[in-house]
Amino acid sequence: MVELLRLDLLSAVLLAILCGGAVGLERELRGKAAGLRTNILICIGAALFTQLSVYLGTPRGDPGRVAAQIVTGVGFIGAGAILHSRGAVSGLTSAATIWVVAAIGVALGSGAVFEGVGVTLLLLLVLRGLGWVEGHVRQQATEVTVSVEVPPGMDQVERIETMIRASGLTIVDMRAEPARDGRTQLAFTVRGRPHQHDQTRRALLDATGSYHLSISE
């Protein structure tokens, strides 16, 4: 009866729905393009292809040939989730998640239920737990560009640099360009915590001799 109704395939598909849905729900709550339905369909497809690979490959063929193409096929989907705009790359986490969800589907389709469910739990832990850690670290150290237009004189450069370092910020890069009326446009790329950026902003605004100040992330 089990072989006739293909209950093993049905159970693999149901588990793929649960595992892919759990990961997809986390992605959906974060507002990602590859959300609930996408991850469920990828996990189901990988599980089904793996089951058919085993079924079609026995006894003459290689049962791994169809399943091996899942990695290639999922690569195209993952590449479509990666966006490059204005010098920034986004979607890498979504692409990697798609890749792992496909691997979970392969595991469930091949009968490795414990491994598939276990990796699903670990993936959720990474996405939720480490996502919070990553956000916390970014809040602790942000990088901004501080542009100050100052009167002529090398002492002005040293004065602004001393004020920035006094706030505890790390100067990553500094550029000096000539501005109008003989003044100098200084651009400092600095890294530090939010309160250090605020302290630097107040110090520069209170400083005498600064004609223009702009700060951009």
Structure tokens at 188: 């400092």
Show Cβ contacts of residue 63 under 8 Å, excluding neighbours closer than 6 positions: 53, 54, 56, 57
Domains of the chain, each with CATH number or no CATH: 2-138 (no CATH), 141-216 (3.30.70.260)
The predicted-structure confidence for 58-116, as pLDDT tens digits, reads as follows 666 566 777 778 888 888 887 777 775 544 567 788 888 999 999 999 999 888 899 99
Instruction: Give the DSSP letter of residue 126.
Output: I
Average pLDDT value over all residues in the chain: 78
The predicted-structure confidence for 107-160, as pLDDT tens digits, reads as follows 998 888 999 999 999 999 988 877 677 666 666 677 788 888 777 665 777 777
In this model, does residue 17 exceed pLDDT 90? Answer: yes
- Cα-based angle 128, 132, 135 (whole degrees, multiple of 5): 135
In this model, does residue 8 exceed pLDDT 80? Answer: no
Structure tokens at 214: 């702009």
Looking at the chain, the number of H-run helices and the number of E-run strands are 9, 6
Structure tokens at 55: 């079924």
Alpha helices in 110-214 (DSSP H): 113-125, 131-140, 154-166, 194-206
Taking the whole predicted model, whether its pTM rises above 0.75 is answered as no
CB of 188 within 8 A of CB of 145? yes
